[in-house]
Structure 1
Amino acid sequence: MRVLYTFILMVLTGTICLGQSSISKGDSLRREGKLEAAIIAYKEEYKQTKQWKTGYNLACVYALTFQKDSAYQYLNMALKEDNSLWALADSDLYALIDDPRWSAIEESQLKRYQEHHGKLMQPEYARKLLRIIIRDQALDYYIDQAKSYFMKEGTAPQWYYPLGAYKEQIIEENYKTMQQLLEIYGWPKYSMVGELAADAPLLVINHHKDDAVRKEYLTQIKQSCIDQEGSCMEYAKIQDRVLVNDNELQIYGMQFRYNAQRVLEPFPIIDPEYVDQRRAEIGLEPLKEYLKRKIKYDWNVVQLKE
Protein backbone atom coordinates (compact mmCIF):
# COMPACT_ATOMS: atom_id res chain seq x y z
CA MET A 1 0.00 0.00 0.00
CA ARG A 2 2.92 2.33 0.70
CA VAL A 3 4.11 2.16 -2.91
CA LEU A 4 0.58 2.71 -4.24
CA TYR A 5 0.26 5.75 -1.98
CA THR A 6 3.53 7.08 -3.41
CA PHE A 7 2.15 6.55 -6.91
CA ILE A 8 -0.87 8.71 -6.13
CA LEU A 9 1.40 11.42 -4.73
CA MET A 10 3.51 11.39 -7.88
CA VAL A 11 0.37 11.91 -9.92
CA LEU A 12 -0.82 14.78 -7.75
CA THR A 13 2.42 16.71 -7.42
CA GLY A 14 3.51 16.47 -11.07
CA THR A 15 7.01 17.26 -12.65
CA ILE A 16 9.85 18.64 -15.64
CA CYS A 17 11.85 15.62 -23.98
CA LEU A 18 11.63 19.20 -25.40
CA GLY A 19 8.28 20.67 -26.46
CA GLN A 20 7.53 21.78 -29.97
CA SER A 21 4.93 24.23 -31.23
CA SER A 22 2.90 21.42 -32.86
CA ILE A 23 2.45 17.75 -32.03
CA SER A 24 4.26 15.48 -34.46
CA LYS A 25 3.63 11.79 -35.12
CA GLY A 26 6.68 10.99 -33.03
CA ASP A 27 5.33 13.08 -30.12
CA SER A 28 1.97 11.28 -30.22
CA LEU A 29 3.55 7.83 -30.31
CA ARG A 30 5.87 8.72 -27.46
CA ARG A 31 2.96 9.88 -25.31
CA GLU A 32 1.13 6.63 -26.06
CA GLY A 33 4.12 4.64 -24.80
CA LYS A 34 5.01 3.33 -28.29
CA LEU A 35 8.70 4.20 -28.07
CA GLU A 36 10.07 2.01 -30.87
CA ALA A 37 7.45 3.41 -33.25
CA ALA A 38 8.29 6.93 -32.02
CA ILE A 39 11.95 6.36 -32.91
CA ILE A 40 10.99 5.44 -36.47
CA ALA A 41 8.74 8.50 -36.77
CA TYR A 42 11.29 10.93 -35.32
CA LYS A 43 14.05 9.53 -37.58
CA GLU A 44 11.89 10.03 -40.66
CA GLU A 45 11.01 13.57 -39.56
CA TYR A 46 14.65 14.38 -38.80
CA LYS A 47 15.73 13.00 -42.18
CA GLN A 48 13.31 15.40 -43.88
CA THR A 49 13.75 18.53 -41.75
CA LYS A 50 17.12 18.29 -39.98
CA GLN A 51 15.56 20.32 -37.15
CA TRP A 52 17.65 20.13 -33.99
CA LYS A 53 14.58 19.86 -31.74
CA THR A 54 13.51 16.71 -33.58
CA GLY A 55 17.02 15.34 -33.19
CA TYR A 56 16.85 16.17 -29.49
CA ASN A 57 13.52 14.37 -29.07
CA LEU A 58 14.98 11.40 -30.92
CA ALA A 59 17.87 11.38 -28.45
CA CYS A 60 15.35 11.42 -25.59
CA VAL A 61 13.45 8.41 -26.91
CA TYR A 62 16.67 6.50 -27.49
CA ALA A 63 17.61 7.26 -23.88
CA LEU A 64 14.19 6.14 -22.63
CA THR A 65 14.80 2.79 -24.36
CA PHE A 66 18.37 2.67 -22.95
CA GLN A 67 19.98 2.79 -26.41
CA LYS A 68 22.76 5.02 -25.11
CA ASP A 69 25.09 5.19 -28.11
CA SER A 70 22.29 6.35 -30.41
CA ALA A 71 21.06 8.76 -27.76
CA TYR A 72 24.48 10.37 -27.46
CA GLN A 73 24.85 10.54 -31.25
CA TYR A 74 21.71 12.62 -31.73
CA LEU A 75 22.09 14.56 -28.48
CA ASN A 76 25.54 15.83 -29.42
CA MET A 77 24.27 16.98 -32.80
CA ALA A 78 21.18 18.66 -31.35
CA LEU A 79 22.93 20.55 -28.56
CA LYS A 80 25.16 22.38 -31.02
CA GLU A 81 22.04 24.47 -31.75
CA ASP A 82 20.86 24.82 -28.14
CA ASN A 83 22.36 27.30 -25.66
CA SER A 84 20.00 26.50 -22.76
CA LEU A 85 20.64 24.23 -19.77
CA TRP A 86 17.42 22.27 -20.28
CA ALA A 87 19.15 19.05 -21.40
CA LEU A 88 21.10 18.92 -18.13
CA ALA A 89 17.84 18.69 -16.18
CA ASP A 90 15.76 16.60 -18.61
CA SER A 91 14.72 13.35 -16.92
CA ASP A 92 14.17 11.66 -20.29
CA LEU A 93 17.98 11.56 -20.45
CA TYR A 94 18.34 9.96 -17.01
CA ALA A 95 19.77 6.73 -18.50
CA LEU A 96 22.77 8.72 -19.75
CA ILE A 97 23.98 10.51 -16.63
CA ASP A 98 26.13 7.71 -15.20
CA ASP A 99 27.89 7.26 -18.53
CA PRO A 100 31.39 8.84 -18.70
CA ARG A 101 30.26 10.85 -21.74
CA TRP A 102 27.75 12.83 -19.66
CA SER A 103 30.42 15.00 -18.04
CA ALA A 104 31.45 16.26 -21.48
CA ILE A 105 27.81 17.11 -22.23
CA GLU A 106 27.60 19.09 -18.97
CA GLU A 107 30.85 20.94 -19.61
CA SER A 108 30.06 21.91 -23.19
CA GLN A 109 26.47 22.95 -22.42
CA LEU A 110 27.45 25.07 -19.42
CA LYS A 111 30.09 26.77 -21.58
CA ARG A 112 27.61 27.36 -24.41
CA TYR A 113 25.00 28.73 -21.99
CA GLN A 114 27.43 31.19 -20.40
CA GLU A 115 28.67 32.40 -23.80
CA HIS A 116 25.09 33.39 -24.71
CA HIS A 117 23.57 34.36 -21.34
CA GLY A 118 26.46 35.61 -19.24
CA LYS A 119 28.77 33.97 -16.75
CA LEU A 120 27.27 32.10 -13.81
CA MET A 121 28.70 33.07 -10.45
CA GLN A 122 28.67 29.46 -9.25
CA PRO A 123 28.84 27.21 -12.35
CA GLU A 124 30.02 24.11 -10.49
CA TYR A 125 27.19 24.44 -7.99
CA ALA A 126 24.79 24.86 -10.92
CA ARG A 127 26.07 21.63 -12.50
CA LYS A 128 25.52 19.69 -9.29
CA LEU A 129 22.05 21.16 -8.80
CA LEU A 130 21.06 20.24 -12.36
CA ARG A 131 22.08 16.65 -11.63
CA ILE A 132 19.79 16.75 -8.62
CA ILE A 133 16.90 17.85 -10.84
CA ILE A 134 17.44 15.12 -13.42
CA ARG A 135 17.51 12.52 -10.64
CA ASP A 136 14.49 14.04 -8.94
CA GLN A 137 12.48 13.67 -12.14
CA ALA A 138 13.94 10.21 -12.91
CA LEU A 139 11.49 7.60 -14.22
CA ASP A 140 8.75 10.20 -14.67
CA TYR A 141 8.01 9.10 -18.24
CA TYR A 142 7.29 5.57 -17.07
CA ILE A 143 5.30 6.87 -14.09
CA ASP A 144 3.21 8.97 -16.49
CA GLN A 145 2.45 5.78 -18.39
CA ALA A 146 1.35 4.20 -15.12
CA LYS A 147 -0.85 7.24 -14.46
CA SER A 148 -2.58 6.77 -17.81
CA TYR A 149 -3.18 3.12 -16.97
CA PHE A 150 -4.57 4.09 -13.55
CA MET A 151 -6.98 6.59 -15.08
CA LYS A 152 -8.34 3.91 -17.41
CA GLU A 153 -8.36 0.91 -15.07
CA GLY A 154 -8.64 2.41 -11.58
CA THR A 155 -5.57 0.62 -10.27
CA ALA A 156 -1.82 0.90 -10.70
CA PRO A 157 -0.26 -1.56 -13.17
CA GLN A 158 1.79 -4.40 -11.70
CA TRP A 159 4.98 -3.14 -13.33
CA TYR A 160 4.68 0.17 -11.50
CA TYR A 161 5.46 -1.21 -8.04
CA PRO A 162 9.22 -1.80 -8.47
CA LEU A 163 9.47 1.59 -10.17
CA GLY A 164 7.67 3.24 -7.27
CA ALA A 165 10.01 1.65 -4.74
CA TYR A 166 13.07 2.67 -6.76
CA LYS A 167 11.70 6.19 -7.09
CA GLU A 168 11.41 6.47 -3.31
CA GLN A 169 15.02 5.34 -2.97
CA ILE A 170 16.18 7.97 -5.48
CA ILE A 171 14.24 10.70 -3.67
CA GLU A 172 15.82 9.82 -0.32
CA GLU A 173 19.35 9.69 -1.78
CA ASN A 174 18.75 12.97 -3.60
CA TYR A 175 17.63 14.64 -0.37
CA LYS A 176 20.86 13.63 1.37
CA THR A 177 22.91 14.99 -1.53
CA MET A 178 20.93 18.23 -1.41
CA GLN A 179 21.64 18.65 2.30
CA GLN A 180 25.36 18.21 1.67
CA LEU A 181 25.32 20.80 -1.11
CA LEU A 182 23.41 23.32 1.01
CA GLU A 183 25.97 22.91 3.77
CA ILE A 184 28.84 23.59 1.35
CA TYR A 185 27.37 26.28 -0.92
CA GLY A 186 24.36 27.69 0.94
CA TRP A 187 20.84 28.18 -0.40
CA PRO A 188 20.98 28.63 -4.22
CA LYS A 189 19.81 31.86 -5.82
CA TYR A 190 18.74 32.71 -9.36
CA SER A 191 21.46 35.36 -9.46
CA MET A 192 24.15 32.80 -8.56
CA VAL A 193 23.32 29.58 -10.44
CA GLY A 194 20.52 30.52 -12.86
CA GLU A 195 16.79 29.98 -12.56
CA LEU A 196 16.68 26.33 -13.60
CA ALA A 197 19.39 25.11 -11.21
CA ALA A 198 18.25 27.22 -8.27
CA ASP A 199 14.92 25.40 -8.08
CA ALA A 200 16.55 22.01 -7.45
CA PRO A 201 16.06 22.03 -3.64
CA LEU A 202 12.40 22.97 -4.05
CA LEU A 203 11.71 19.93 -6.23
CA VAL A 204 13.52 17.60 -3.83
CA ILE A 205 11.72 19.03 -0.81
CA ASN A 206 8.30 18.90 -2.47
CA HIS A 207 8.76 15.26 -3.46
CA HIS A 208 10.06 14.09 -0.07
CA LYS A 209 7.69 11.76 1.76
CA ASP A 210 8.03 13.59 5.11
CA ASP A 211 6.04 16.78 5.64
CA ALA A 212 8.48 17.78 8.39
CA VAL A 213 11.05 18.38 5.65
CA ARG A 214 8.71 20.74 3.80
CA LYS A 215 7.85 22.61 6.97
CA GLU A 216 11.54 22.95 7.87
CA TYR A 217 12.37 24.79 4.64
CA LEU A 218 9.07 26.58 3.96
CA THR A 219 10.15 29.94 5.38
CA GLN A 220 13.33 29.96 3.25
CA ILE A 221 11.39 28.95 0.15
CA LYS A 222 8.83 31.69 0.69
CA GLN A 223 11.54 34.31 1.23
CA SER A 224 13.30 33.29 -2.00
CA CYS A 225 9.99 33.75 -3.80
CA ILE A 226 9.49 37.22 -2.28
CA ASP A 227 13.09 38.20 -3.15
CA GLN A 228 12.62 36.90 -6.72
CA GLU A 229 15.54 34.54 -6.16
CA GLY A 230 13.45 31.35 -6.27
CA SER A 231 10.33 29.88 -7.82
CA CYS A 232 7.01 31.17 -6.52
CA MET A 233 5.31 28.34 -8.42
CA GLU A 234 7.21 25.73 -6.40
CA TYR A 235 6.64 27.69 -3.19
CA ALA A 236 2.88 27.61 -3.83
CA LYS A 237 2.99 23.86 -4.51
CA ILE A 238 4.87 23.17 -1.29
CA GLN A 239 2.73 25.50 0.82
CA ASP A 240 -0.47 23.91 -0.47
CA ARG A 241 0.87 20.38 -0.03
CA VAL A 242 1.67 21.06 3.62
CA LEU A 243 -1.86 22.37 4.17
CA VAL A 244 -3.57 19.51 2.33
CA ASN A 245 -1.56 16.92 4.25
CA ASP A 246 -2.66 18.61 7.48
CA ASN A 247 -6.30 18.33 6.32
CA GLU A 248 -6.53 22.10 5.88
CA LEU A 249 -7.78 24.15 2.92
CA GLN A 250 -5.11 25.02 0.37
CA ILE A 251 -4.29 28.63 -0.54
CA TYR A 252 -3.26 28.63 -4.20
CA GLY A 253 -5.02 25.60 -5.71
CA MET A 254 -1.83 23.73 -6.58
CA GLN A 255 -2.70 20.28 -5.19
CA PHE A 256 -5.00 17.82 -6.97
CA ARG A 257 -6.88 14.61 -6.23
CA TYR A 258 -8.85 12.03 -8.17
CA ASN A 259 -12.61 12.18 -7.69
CA ALA A 260 -14.95 9.17 -7.84
CA GLN A 261 -14.87 9.29 -11.65
CA ARG A 262 -11.04 9.14 -11.60
CA VAL A 263 -10.86 12.69 -12.89
CA LEU A 264 -8.31 15.09 -11.41
CA GLU A 265 -9.67 18.09 -9.53
CA PRO A 266 -8.13 20.57 -7.05
CA PHE A 267 -8.39 19.92 -3.34
CA PRO A 268 -10.75 22.39 -1.59
CA ILE A 269 -9.44 25.98 -1.47
CA ILE A 270 -9.89 28.57 1.25
CA ASP A 271 -11.99 31.55 0.08
CA PRO A 272 -11.89 30.31 -3.52
CA GLU A 273 -13.37 33.54 -4.84
CA TYR A 274 -10.11 35.30 -3.89
CA VAL A 275 -7.64 32.67 -5.08
CA ASP A 276 -6.61 34.62 -8.19
CA GLN A 277 -5.81 37.66 -6.06
CA ARG A 278 -3.54 35.56 -3.85
CA ARG A 279 -1.92 33.94 -6.88
CA ALA A 280 -1.32 37.32 -8.56
CA GLU A 281 0.45 38.59 -5.44
CA ILE A 282 3.24 36.07 -6.05
CA GLY A 283 3.19 36.29 -9.85
CA LEU A 284 1.09 33.23 -10.72
CA GLU A 285 -1.41 33.03 -13.56
CA PRO A 286 -5.17 32.83 -12.83
CA LEU A 287 -6.21 29.45 -11.46
CA LYS A 288 -8.70 28.88 -14.30
CA GLU A 289 -5.85 29.04 -16.84
CA TYR A 290 -3.51 26.91 -14.73
CA LEU A 291 -6.03 24.13 -14.10
CA LYS A 292 -7.11 24.02 -17.75
CA ARG A 293 -3.50 23.68 -18.89
CA LYS A 294 -2.34 21.37 -16.12
CA ILE A 295 -5.21 18.90 -15.66
CA LYS A 296 -7.83 20.00 -18.23
CA TYR A 297 -10.17 21.04 -15.42
CA ASP A 298 -12.79 23.78 -15.84
CA TRP A 299 -12.63 26.20 -12.89
CA ASN A 300 -15.65 28.47 -12.91
CA VAL A 301 -15.63 30.21 -9.53
CA VAL A 302 -16.24 33.94 -10.03
CA GLN A 303 -13.26 35.91 -8.76
CA LEU A 304 -13.42 38.94 -6.44
CA LYS A 305 -10.89 41.47 -5.13
CA GLU A 306 -10.66 42.91 -1.66
Structure 2
Amino acid sequence: MIEVASAANADRQVLRSPASEADGGPEDRGLALDLMRCMWRAREADASVPRTDAAADVVASMFEENTHVLRQIMKQYGWPGYKLVGERAAQAAWHIAHYCPDIGFQAEALQLLGEAVRAGDADPQHYALLADRLCAVRSQPQRFGTQYVPDGAGGLALYPVVEPRRLDDRRFAWGLEPHAEWDARVRGDAALVGFIGPRRP
Protein backbone atom coordinates (compact mmCIF):
# COMPACT_ATOMS: atom_id res chain seq x y z
CA MET A 1 0.00 0.00 0.00
CA ILE A 2 1.34 3.45 -0.88
CA GLU A 3 0.37 6.17 1.56
CA VAL A 4 -0.03 9.67 0.20
CA ALA A 5 1.18 11.91 2.98
CA SER A 6 4.62 12.43 4.38
CA ALA A 7 5.17 13.95 7.79
CA ALA A 8 6.49 17.17 6.28
CA ASN A 9 3.54 17.59 3.93
CA ALA A 10 1.02 16.75 6.62
CA ASP A 11 2.56 19.56 8.68
CA ARG A 12 1.98 21.99 5.81
CA GLN A 13 -1.61 20.84 5.41
CA VAL A 14 -2.75 21.25 9.05
CA LEU A 15 -5.72 23.61 9.16
CA ARG A 16 -5.58 26.69 11.31
CA SER A 17 -7.79 26.63 14.36
CA PRO A 18 -9.00 29.39 16.70
CA ALA A 19 -7.32 27.42 19.48
CA SER A 20 -3.88 27.20 17.84
CA GLU A 21 -0.50 28.24 19.23
CA ALA A 22 -0.94 31.64 17.61
CA ASP A 23 -3.76 32.32 20.07
CA GLY A 24 -1.78 31.79 23.25
CA GLY A 25 -0.51 28.24 22.99
CA PRO A 26 -1.81 24.85 24.06
CA GLU A 27 -3.41 24.28 27.44
CA ASP A 28 -0.97 21.52 28.35
CA ARG A 29 2.57 22.11 27.12
CA GLY A 30 3.80 19.01 28.93
CA LEU A 31 1.48 16.72 26.94
CA ALA A 32 2.40 18.58 23.77
CA LEU A 33 6.09 17.99 24.41
CA ASP A 34 5.50 14.29 25.14
CA LEU A 35 3.72 13.86 21.80
CA MET A 36 6.37 15.79 19.88
CA ARG A 37 9.12 13.67 21.41
CA CYS A 38 7.30 10.55 20.28
CA MET A 39 7.11 11.78 16.71
CA TRP A 40 10.72 12.98 16.60
CA ARG A 41 11.89 9.63 17.94
CA ALA A 42 9.80 7.72 15.42
CA ARG A 43 11.05 9.76 12.47
CA GLU A 44 14.67 9.48 13.54
CA ALA A 45 14.42 5.73 14.11
CA ASP A 46 12.68 5.03 10.82
CA ALA A 47 15.20 7.12 8.91
CA SER A 48 18.39 5.85 10.56
CA VAL A 49 17.86 2.29 11.79
CA PRO A 50 19.26 -0.38 9.42
CA ARG A 51 16.69 -2.54 7.62
CA THR A 52 17.35 -5.73 9.58
CA ASP A 53 14.98 -7.93 11.56
CA ALA A 54 16.63 -6.96 14.84
CA ALA A 55 16.42 -3.28 14.01
CA ALA A 56 12.80 -3.69 12.94
CA ASP A 57 12.04 -5.14 16.37
CA VAL A 58 13.60 -2.08 18.00
CA VAL A 59 11.51 0.27 15.86
CA ALA A 60 8.36 -1.73 16.53
CA SER A 61 8.99 -1.56 20.27
CA MET A 62 9.46 2.19 20.04
CA PHE A 63 6.17 2.56 18.16
CA GLU A 64 4.45 0.51 20.87
CA GLU A 65 5.82 2.91 23.49
CA ASN A 66 4.54 5.86 21.48
CA THR A 67 1.13 4.21 21.21
CA HIS A 68 1.07 3.76 24.98
CA VAL A 69 1.70 7.48 25.45
CA LEU A 70 -1.19 8.40 23.15
CA ARG A 71 -3.46 5.75 24.66
CA GLN A 72 -3.01 7.22 28.15
CA ILE A 73 -3.69 10.74 26.89
CA MET A 74 -6.84 9.59 25.10
CA LYS A 75 -8.13 7.83 28.21
CA GLN A 76 -7.84 11.00 30.25
CA TYR A 77 -8.57 13.77 27.75
CA GLY A 78 -10.05 12.27 24.59
CA TRP A 79 -8.35 13.22 21.34
CA PRO A 80 -5.44 15.65 21.94
CA GLY A 81 -6.54 18.44 19.65
CA TYR A 82 -5.44 21.98 18.91
CA LYS A 83 -6.78 23.43 22.14
CA LEU A 84 -5.13 20.92 24.46
CA VAL A 85 -1.74 20.45 22.79
CA GLY A 86 -1.51 22.83 19.80
CA GLU A 87 -1.27 22.12 16.08
CA ARG A 88 2.14 20.47 15.91
CA ALA A 89 1.50 18.11 18.79
CA ALA A 90 -1.94 17.30 17.38
CA GLN A 91 -0.10 16.37 14.18
CA ALA A 92 2.20 14.17 16.27
CA ALA A 93 -0.81 12.43 17.84
CA TRP A 94 -2.18 11.67 14.39
CA HIS A 95 1.23 10.38 13.32
CA ILE A 96 1.28 7.94 16.23
CA ALA A 97 -2.26 6.71 15.63
CA HIS A 98 -1.83 6.43 11.86
CA TYR A 99 1.25 4.23 12.06
CA CYS A 100 0.66 2.16 15.16
CA PRO A 101 0.25 -1.61 14.51
CA ASP A 102 -2.90 -2.01 16.64
CA ILE A 103 -5.97 -1.80 14.40
CA GLY A 104 -8.32 -1.77 17.38
CA PHE A 105 -6.53 1.22 18.83
CA GLN A 106 -6.60 2.96 15.46
CA ALA A 107 -10.37 2.50 15.31
CA GLU A 108 -10.72 4.01 18.79
CA ALA A 109 -8.48 6.90 17.81
CA LEU A 110 -10.49 7.46 14.63
CA GLN A 111 -13.71 7.85 16.60
CA LEU A 112 -12.19 10.41 18.98
CA LEU A 113 -10.42 12.20 16.13
CA GLY A 114 -13.72 12.48 14.27
CA GLU A 115 -15.35 14.07 17.29
CA ALA A 116 -12.50 16.56 17.51
CA VAL A 117 -12.75 17.40 13.80
CA ARG A 118 -16.47 18.07 14.12
CA ALA A 119 -15.69 20.40 17.03
CA GLY A 120 -13.11 22.29 14.94
CA ASP A 121 -10.30 20.97 17.14
CA ALA A 122 -8.45 18.73 14.66
CA ASP A 123 -7.50 18.48 10.98
CA PRO A 124 -10.12 16.83 8.71
CA GLN A 125 -7.38 15.49 6.49
CA HIS A 126 -5.94 13.54 9.40
CA TYR A 127 -9.35 11.92 9.84
CA ALA A 128 -9.58 11.02 6.16
CA LEU A 129 -6.10 9.52 6.05
CA LEU A 130 -6.64 7.42 9.16
CA ALA A 131 -10.10 6.28 8.04
CA ASP A 132 -8.81 5.20 4.63
CA ARG A 133 -5.78 3.47 6.12
CA LEU A 134 -8.07 1.38 8.31
CA CYS A 135 -10.21 0.49 5.30
CA ALA A 136 -7.17 -0.60 3.31
CA VAL A 137 -5.73 -2.68 6.16
CA ARG A 138 -9.11 -4.41 6.44
CA SER A 139 -9.17 -4.96 2.65
CA GLN A 140 -12.23 -2.73 2.35
CA PRO A 141 -12.83 0.10 -0.15
CA GLN A 142 -11.68 3.46 1.14
CA ARG A 143 -14.01 6.37 1.86
CA PHE A 144 -12.04 9.52 1.02
CA GLY A 145 -9.65 8.54 -1.77
CA THR A 146 -6.36 9.17 0.01
CA GLN A 147 -4.75 5.77 -0.64
CA TYR A 148 -2.97 4.67 -3.81
CA VAL A 149 -1.26 1.52 -5.07
CA PRO A 150 1.35 0.97 -7.81
CA ASP A 151 -0.26 0.68 -11.22
CA GLY A 152 2.37 -1.72 -12.61
CA ALA A 153 3.76 0.89 -15.00
CA GLY A 154 5.69 3.04 -12.58
CA GLY A 155 2.73 5.22 -11.65
CA LEU A 156 -0.11 5.28 -9.17
CA ALA A 157 -3.61 3.86 -9.21
CA LEU A 158 -6.30 4.92 -6.78
CA TYR A 159 -7.07 2.22 -4.24
CA PRO A 160 -10.75 1.14 -4.64
CA VAL A 161 -13.30 3.63 -3.31
CA VAL A 162 -16.74 2.85 -1.91
CA GLU A 163 -19.50 4.51 -3.97
CA PRO A 164 -17.10 6.52 -6.17
CA ARG A 165 -19.85 8.86 -7.37
CA ARG A 166 -20.31 10.09 -3.81
CA LEU A 167 -16.59 10.52 -3.11
CA ASP A 168 -16.63 14.32 -3.25
CA ASP A 169 -19.85 14.46 -1.23
CA ARG A 170 -18.10 12.63 1.58
CA ARG A 171 -15.01 14.80 1.25
CA PHE A 172 -17.02 18.03 1.28
CA ALA A 173 -18.94 16.85 4.35
CA TRP A 174 -15.64 16.71 6.23
CA GLY A 175 -14.28 19.99 4.88
CA LEU A 176 -11.86 18.45 2.38
CA GLU A 177 -10.90 19.71 -1.07
CA PRO A 178 -12.38 18.05 -4.20
CA HIS A 179 -10.68 14.75 -4.91
CA ALA A 180 -9.47 15.93 -8.32
CA GLU A 181 -7.38 18.60 -6.58
CA TRP A 182 -5.97 16.12 -4.07
CA ASP A 183 -5.19 13.64 -6.84
CA ALA A 184 -3.40 16.28 -8.90
CA ARG A 185 -1.25 17.25 -5.94
CA VAL A 186 -0.40 13.63 -5.18
CA ARG A 187 0.65 12.89 -8.74
CA GLY A 188 2.56 16.16 -9.04
CA ASP A 189 4.50 15.99 -5.78
CA ALA A 190 6.70 12.96 -5.19
CA ALA A 191 7.13 13.99 -1.55
CA LEU A 192 3.45 13.26 -0.98
CA VAL A 193 4.01 9.57 -1.69
CA GLY A 194 5.74 7.79 1.15
CA PHE A 195 5.48 5.80 4.32
CA ILE A 196 5.79 7.16 7.85
CA GLY A 197 6.80 4.49 10.30
CA PRO A 198 7.07 0.76 9.77
CA ARG A 199 5.15 -0.97 7.02
CA ARG A 200 2.55 -3.48 8.08
CA PRO A 201 3.58 -7.12 7.61
Pairwise TM-score range, normalised by the shorter structure? 0.7 to 0.9
Cα distance change of structure 1 residues 186 and 270 upon mapping to structure 2, 3 Å threshold: closer
Q: Say which of 172, 192, 197 aligns to 1:280.
A: 172
Aligned to 1:160: 51
Cα distance change of structure 1 residues 17 and 206 upon mapping to structure 2, 3 Å threshold: closer
Q: Say which of 6, 19, 23 aligns to 1:15.
A: 6
Q: Say which of 113, 130, 155 aligns to 1:238.
A: 130
Aligned to 1:131: 37
Instruction: Show the 5 A alignment for 1:228-267.
Output: 228-267=120-159
Alignment partners' CA distance in 2, 1:166 and 1:287:
37
Are residue 210 (structure 1) and residue 102 (structure 2) matched? yes
Q: What secondary structure, in the 3-state scheme, does the structure 2 residue paired with 1:248 have?
A: coil
Alignment partners' CA distance in 2, 1:241 and 1:261:
23
Comparing both chains, which one has the higher relative contact order based on Cα–Cα distances under 8 Å and sequence gaps of 6 or more?
Answer: 2
Structure 2: where are the runs of 5+ without partners? 12-19, 190-201
Cα distance change of structure 1 residues 17 and 200 upon mapping to structure 2, 3 Å threshold: closer
Query: How many Å apart are 1:273 and its aligned residue?
Result: 2.7
Alignment partners' CA distance in 1, 2:161 and 2:32:
36
Q: What secondary structure, in the 3-state scheme, does the structure 2 residue paired with 1:12 have?
A: coil
Are the equivalent residues in 1 in contact too, given 2:79–2:116 (CA < 8 A)? no
Instruction: Show the 5 A alignment for 1:94-243.
Output: 117-139=23-45, 141=47, 160-161=51-52, 164-183=56-75, 186-243=78-135
Alignment partners' CA distance in 1, 2:72 and 2:7:
23
Are the equivalent residues in 1 in contact too, given 2:25–2:86 (CA < 8 A)? no
Alignment partners' CA distance in 2, 1:218 and 1:128:
20
C-alpha deviations, 1:265-303, integer Å up to 9, x for none?
Answer: 220112223212211211111222212222439xxxxxx
C-alpha deviations, 1:21-42, integer Å up to 9, x for none?
Answer: xxxxxxxxxxxxxxxxxxxxxx
Aligned to 2:161: 269
Coordinate RMSD, CA, aligned? 3.0
* Greater helix fraction, Structure 1 or Structure 2: 1
Percentage identity across aligned positions?
24
Are the equivalent residues in 1 in contact too, given 2:38–2:92 (CA < 8 A)? yes
Are the equivalent residues in 1 in contact too, given 2:79–2:113 (CA < 8 A)? no
Larger Rg: 1
Alignment partners' CA distance in 2, 1:166 and 1:260:
33
Are the equivalent residues in 2 in contact too, given 1:15–1:137 (CA < 8 A)? no
Query: How many Å apart are 1:176 and its aligned residue?
Result: 1.6
TM-score, normalised relative to structure 1: 0.51
Aligned to 2:196: none
C-alpha deviations, 1:202-247, integer Å up to 9, x for none?
Answer: 2211101232221222221111111111121111111112222222
Query: How many Å apart are 1:250 and its aligned residue?
Result: 0.8
Are the equivalent residues in 1 in contact too, given 2:145–2:159 (CA < 8 A)? yes
Paired residues, number: 179
Name the amino acid aligned to 2:63. I
Name the amino acid aligned to 1:160. R
Instruction: Show the 5 A alignment for 1:20-99.
Output: none
TM-score, normalised relative to structure 2: 0.73
Q: What secondary structure, in the 3-state scheme, does the structure 1 residue paired with 2:44 have?
A: coil
Are the equivalent residues in 1 in contact too, given 2:73–2:80 (CA < 8 A)? no
Structure 1: where are the runs of 5+ without partners? 1-8, 19-85, 87-112, 144-158, 298-306
